[in-house]
Amino acid sequence: MDSPLRPLPLFSIENITTSTPLGVQKVKKTPPLKSVTKKKTPPSKVASASKTKKKWRVAFDENQAQIDAGQKKFGTTECYDCGLLYQQNEPEDEYRHRLHHDTMEDLTHPGWKNERIVGRFGLDYVVQVGHKDSMWLHRTEKIIDLVDRDLGYAHSDNKISPNTQAYLYIRKKRIAGCLVVGPMDKGYRFLPDQSTDDVGCVGEEVVPVKCGVSRIWTTKKQRNQNVAKNLLQTMRMHFIPGKVLGLDDVAFAMPLFMDGRRFLQRYCKRKDFLVYTGLAI
């Protein structure tokens, strides 16, 4: 029986100063000051002092109030290490950025003993993990859990079932991508002309398939570097021993994001790629 779909993860200030009116106070009159000759400041010192004077910027934002005195960075920036976009000097975004870095530490991969390498791409390689790989199973399920949390899946089942396979893309001793696939016997054609940015439509005709891909994920820093493509190529060669799956043998969980749809259309070489409508694998 069909059930609600889950999206296919493919890949998921100006400042203000305020002024306060000063209180009015009565001040006793003081006797006149004696005339004092003021020493002139050398031109060189005046110039150097003007260079070090801090500039204040004033702008209005009804939701935030911050002072930019030139000592801190503000605005949206992309982290060079993890690729995350965040607001600098915003406590919530800074916390989210640190949490993201802590999470990414779980993606280190120094190598497993007797790991099953099923694909090589230069210095990169792909590891296959199945239900019987007890030595690596718990670690792989933790990675899938990380992937699901990164994509916003609060209550997803990340256990590898007896027929499910996970493929991990390793680059420079780090996990750069993950693909999860399982058996599937029927798919449907995606209808691009009847779909919107938020809702994907499929045709009624059933198309026989061999497998269903529930997750394709890459780290933000490794996107657009053939990681997802290489994962799919490797899976098609090794999901069924001795058989290379064709493009029409693979169905995908419905992608709800335009980037995912465009990637699948490029990879499958047709706009009406196959999707499945059952439970996530």
Delineate the domains of the chain, giving CATH numbers in brackets. Answer: 105-276 (3.40.630.30)
The residue assigned the tokens 């099953």 is: 116
Contacts 24+ apart (CB under 8 A), 163-166: 163/131, 164/130, 164/131, 164/281, 165/128, 165/129, 165/130, 165/235, 165/239, 166/128, 166/129, 166/130, 166/140
| In the predicted structure, residue 61 carries a pLDDT above the cut 70 | no
25: helix, strand or coil: coil
Q: What local confidence, expressed as pLDDT, does residue 134 receive?
A: 83
Look over the chain and give the mean of its residue pLDDT values, rounded to a whole number: 75
Do residues 74 and 13 make contact, with C-beta atoms less than 8 angstroms apart? Answer: yes
207: helix, strand or coil: strand
pLDDT tens, 88-102? 777 776 666 666 655
173: helix, strand or coil: coil
11: helix, strand or coil: coil
pLDDT tens, 192-206? 888 777 778 888 999
